[in-house]
Structure 1
């Protein structure tokens, strides 16, 4: 069983009705901070389990679940128009059609599709309190918040049948290593994974064993003697006062028992290790294998590169029959797990990467160190071949823009080996991202620029810039050429160790000291000339 899509409306940062469709296997959510990645995972888990931040939401919801703008608009309108409708919050999870889910099929969904199968989670005005709400808004009291005390949760299937988490066949587990949700030494999500992995008779057996443990505490001779003393010495009431263990909850072991890892309480091990343990346990969960939905929040947190690589390997090798949704800020995670599985969340809109050329996402799976997310998330990007090109470009940009670096204007300068330029441009094409490329002609402008980048040269959002003179193959002879009229200044800036003026010697020195001379230029206050193809990209940045 898999989820097909999620619909959000008025939930936290998602104001307008937003639809996110998912792959049956891996899904990788990426986006800038506050884009809504975590909210998507949270909403799915809430709709399937009724749990938010480790607590059942049924009797513990608040107005901050509603979109802030919607609440503000309501509060302004209600002052002048008492008929203004109250905001309503909606989360819908659509299941992939399955004969086993016939009881969840119906037209009670925002698509009005009678064949859809899924769960609908709403927070709205309880009609029982309609009269009280009417009196409130017509009173003299100014409304500064929505009257959440008059709201209730409607949690139903698309067939309009009320549901509880126990009857929902698709179970989700939310794993978030960025925050600590520990109660009495036991991680609540770990306990839920363990519980979901047990057969019903095993769950009952564990609950009974825990109950007997509590009962034995109450009948222990030491406890009986202690309680007798308390009653004798405490004159509060004629009734007996005693210390005991709460027997009211059959399943309280989930939050009360401590989970140990190698005989160490789980909350005492590192957060990175906690993430690995919980993820592996969920991946290897053998009961109802096809009914597992794993929601993984930023797995790169608290993990070394080696540990992260091992975790990604576990996910790739054990994802069979499971649907996994991962949010991440890591290019390494995105590349390794496949850019074709990417879902970009941007301004509450989503963009899938399924149409990316297969050779491109296969390239990044093998060479996962490239900063692909920097390109995906930036406003504009400039791709350069190496550190020297980056330093020269940034120096000129600062000179032309009041000493501001490109990144301060939302322009990311990314070092990319020339062999990867086309792979990055494939991503730019998919997103219609504004990208400029600063590259060498390597002695053959026709083949290395015109022919190599032919499919990109006509794109309005892509700008390929290179010197068209074949005799000037790379940055060093090009930079020397525009400054050869004042060699003493050039030698001074790049810290050339000799007064020898032969052109080839200076160029050779620059080629052999690529980063060093460019760094000296970047740190210098002396103004030099710059090749026209680099100037052209600085001008492009202003467009």
Structure 2
């Protein structure tokens, strides 16, 4: 099962309704700082926690505005999960064969149950879409079973020390220890501990030492309140209780230190290591239907060398075969294996002239995608000479393969750059060269003169050249000119060569 769609309404920086379609593998969120990337993480937390509306509402909106988050869960195992004991009574909420839609909203509403009783819904309630009644409903106790439906693991860039204090089931270390030690409860070692505990705390141990105190308490109780028997009982703690007293120590230069006392870099490295180990163990368990676990990792590249980022990405790729992953990042290294068929890439922007969030549909133009130039341009808005030349070459090849013509159809684009340049020059939105962009220091010579800035930039990148006196032959294109030329080529690609 995976989250196939998230719908936000007036949630933090997303005013109005915003739909985000997701992939079952890795979903990358890139773009400007404070543009809403981690807000997607917070939206999932909102579904699970339902904190007060004021913490999540879009700024400057009326207090009466509805704030909601809707999750669409999809997968072949959805029906199987609803067949388990904890979730059987929610089978009527299955949409089709493989989908569930749940929602938490600040808008109060009502619904009518199967007995005709009207029930209220508020921010405190998680609701499921009923495909028969066409409304969102809140069966009794559904909040308590949400953890049986799916679980989440968040690794934020601003980790908190308490995330590593002990092995509670809410953090990744606790999940790892709990899963690995499940069989330990039937081991000889655990049975021996039970026997030792019985001796130490039983009638021959601590209970005997406390028998006098126990009798005195019972005596007073009987005198003042009536007959009752008092017994001090020291039952064997569950394995989980032992875990709560555990912690993780890291040893460096012979000195052991609690990980909560380490720096953020070490803590993040440990969190990512635990995730990789946990997912590996989880994948080895076959034939067992387990609650899906979704990973939300904020800027995993932080404190990591590029080579370490490559290794981390390889591990995350393996994890994504069985667990959905969400990554916010500013690193092109984590996108070097991006595949539009198995990944999703969303670009976030704070520019008022652009959409707040937009799915990338461009990476993949080149036959050898993704190139560094593609990644940097489409994901991070960084124009480069390298991508300009890659795109120029691909468009030239496409124009040749499609037998594009110019000069009223009298000529066909061939191998020569000059004919491709002429074909480009006939486009209505072409950027032509001027006297500042010619071959020899502002002077026209007898050789071919580039008609378009696109060809001029390509030729300058490949052959900047020097005049005999050492001065540049061509004026170097600016980054802005390179960007404008790339945008022009992308329009040509979309309209005529795609």
TM-score range, shorter chain: 0.5 to 0.7
Distance in 2, Cα, partners of 1:94 & 1:326:
19
Distance in 2, Cα, partners of 1:480 & 1:210:
93
Q: CA shift at 1:300, angstroms?
A: 1.0
Please report the TM-score for the alignment, with normalisation by the length of structure 2: 0.57
For the residue of structure 1 that corresponds to 2:303, the secondary structure is coil
Superposition pairs of residues 270-419 of structure 1, within 5 angstroms: 270-284=266-280, 285-286=282-283, 287=285, 291-338=292-339, 341-346=344-349, 349-354=356-361, 356-357=363-364, 359=366, 362-364=368-370, 367-368=371-372, 370=373, 372-373=375-376, 375-378=378-381, 383=383, 414-416=384-386, 418-419=388-389
Structure 1 gap ranges (5+): 51-56, 75-85, 128-149, 229-244, 384-413, 427-443, 483-502, 512-529
Distance in 1, Cα, partners of 2:55 & 2:477:
51
Aligned residues: 375
Structure 2 gap ranges (5+): 83-87, 111-120, 131-136, 214-233, 397-412, 446-465, 486-498
Pair 1:321–1:357, CA change in 2 (3 A): same
Distance in 2, Cα, partners of 1:281 & 1:375:
33
Pair 1:42–1:505, CA change in 2 (3 A): same
For the residue of structure 2 that corresponds to 1:15, the secondary structure is strand
CA contact (8 A) 1:331 1:371 kept: no
Q: Which structure: greater helix fraction?
A: 1
CA contact (8 A) 1:8 1:18 kept: yes
Distance in 2, Cα, partners of 1:471 & 1:464:
14
Other-structure match for 2:67: 89
CA RMSD of aligned residues (A): 5.4
Distance in 2, Cα, partners of 1:372 & 1:100:
39
By relative contact order (CA 8 Å, sep 6+), the higher-ranking structure is: 2
Q: CA shift at 1:66, angstroms?
A: 2.0
What's the CA shift string for 1:134-156, capped at 9, x where partnerless? xxxxxxxxxxxxxxxx9741123
Superposition pairs of residues 83-482 of structure 1, within 5 angstroms: 86-98=64-76, 99-101=79-81, 116-124=99-107, 152-159=123-130, 160=137, 161=139, 162-164=142-144, 167-182=147-162, 185-186=165-166, 189-194=171-176, 197=179, 256-261=245-250, 264-267=257-260, 268=262, 270-284=266-280, 285-286=282-283, 287=285, 291-338=292-339, 341-346=344-349, 349-354=356-361, 356-357=363-364, 359=366, 362-364=368-370, 367-368=371-372, 370=373, 372-373=375-376, 375-378=378-381, 383=383, 414-416=384-386, 418-422=388-392, 447-448=416-417, 451=420, 458=427, 460=429, 472=439, 477-478=440-441
For the residue of structure 2 that corresponds to 1:372, the secondary structure is helix
Other-structure match for 2:404: none
Pair 1:459–1:532, CA change in 2 (3 A): farther
Distance in 2, Cα, partners of 1:251 & 1:196:
8
Distance in 1, Cα, partners of 2:163 & 2:195:
22
CA contact (8 A) 1:106 1:158 kept: no
What's the CA shift string for 1:439-472, capped at 9, x where partnerless? xxxxx99933652796798485xx6566799993
Distance in 2, Cα, partners of 1:17 & 1:538:
36
Please report the TM-score for the alignment, with normalisation by the length of structure 1: 0.53
